[in-house]
Amino acid sequence: MWFAILATDIPDSLERRRQARPAHIARLQILLDAGRLFVAGAFPAIESPDPGPAGFTGSLILAEFPSQAEAQAWADADPYVAAGVYARVEIKPFRKALPA
């Protein structure tokens, strides 16, 4: 099943994000290579593809996992969690409707 992983950053998370990003992206690449990643990205703090020092307010990952417990375990092991980037992470089952 697909799951949405919705993460909210702590204030001023940019430097922590920069440091943990290579490991974070490497884990996403594993999901992508396995055909289990639908989309992943960050929420810029301002309306800009490159928010500069304004940074980001969180992240969204849509990925396939056998269960919500496994999605939660995967999210809990994220390098951004270990680096203290995220203040909160929420996992929600996701059912794609469109495009078909």
The structure's pTM equals: 0.94
DSSP reduced 3-state for 59: strand
Average pLDDT over residues 25-47: 97
Residues comprising the chain, all counted: 100
Q: Report the Cα–Cα distance between both ends of the chain, in Å, rounded.
A: 16
Confidence of residue 100 (pLDDT cuts 50, 70, 90): confident
* Cα–Cα distance for residue pair 56/10, rounded to 1 Å: 9
pLDDT averaged over every residue in the chain: 97
